[in-house]
Amino acid sequence: MSNPSFLHIHGTIISTYTRIVQTVAEEAGLSWKITATPANSEENQRRHPFHKVPTVEVDGLQLFESVAICQYIDNAHNGGVLQPADHQCRAEMDRWISIANNYLFPVAEHGLLMPHLAHNVLKTPLRSDIIEAALPEIARHLGIICDRIEETPFFAGPKFSLADIFVYCILRPIQLTSEGEHLITPLLPLRHWLNKIGQRDSIIATRWPIEQD
């Protein structure tokens, strides 16, 4: 039986979606630990029918899919403060989480981050051809996301929400590549928002080793 005030995360340590869940736990003041569990391991295949990470145990529940996990943590342990009560802001929050998950993450993951990871970890030649092919689409997504954050302080509207956590944790690894940094540098509103969100305690507490000063 899980400790009711403890979150056990199973996932890879350097993972966008693991960081999203860690960040929401930090915002909620919920203690957490990670057990390193590769996505394609037998253990994870039992935990997640689509073989993705993270999965979690909390309050005696086994949960997977980050949106469901984050909403559960925020509702059960944080008074729902990361989800706007106002219907229009709530729709904006859901919209920007969907955009980040369904459009930005897949192209950035396959077209930019995985080629860099393979190069850095497996020491294979950098697949610049894959990166070059993906950059126009990534640039288009960044432009759309920048337009939104030019018109409002946070993605859902006036208040910080789950949408800011999803968008930040998906954008930040892009910004950590030279190509992503090059695309983001001229997008001033987006850069300012990244700096602002990057100063939150929950984001600082979940920094990856490559982000440490």
Ligand X SMILES: N[C@@H](CCC(=O)N[C@@H](CS)C(=O)NCC(=O)O)C(=O)O
Q: How far apart are CA 212 and CA 204, in angstroms?
A: 9
Instruction: Considering only the stretches 11-19, 25-33, 84-92, 191-199, report the one whose residues sit in contact with ligand X under the rule CB under 6 A.
Output: 11-19
* Single-letter code of the amino acid located at 184: I
Strands (E), the chain: 6-11, 31-36, 55-58, 61-64
Give the pair of three-digit tokens for residue 104: 């930005």
**Coil, strand or helix: which one is 34?**
strand
| Binder among 8, 52, 119, 191 for ligand X (CB under 6 A) | 52
Closer Cβ to ligand X, 36 or 188, answer by number: 36
| Binder among 22, 23, 37, 66 for ligand X (CB under 6 A) | 66
22 binds ligand X (CB under 6 A): no
17 binds ligand X (CB under 6 A): yes
CB-based contacts of 94, cutoff 8 Å, min separation 6: 163
53 binds ligand X (CB under 6 A): yes
Q: How far is the CB of 57 from ligand X (least distance, A)?
A: 15
| Binder among 7, 15, 162, 163 for ligand X (CB under 6 A) | 15
Contact in structure between 56 and 8 (CB atoms under 8 Å): yes
Which residues make up the interface to ligand X (CB under 6 A)? Answer: 15-17, 39, 52-53, 65-67
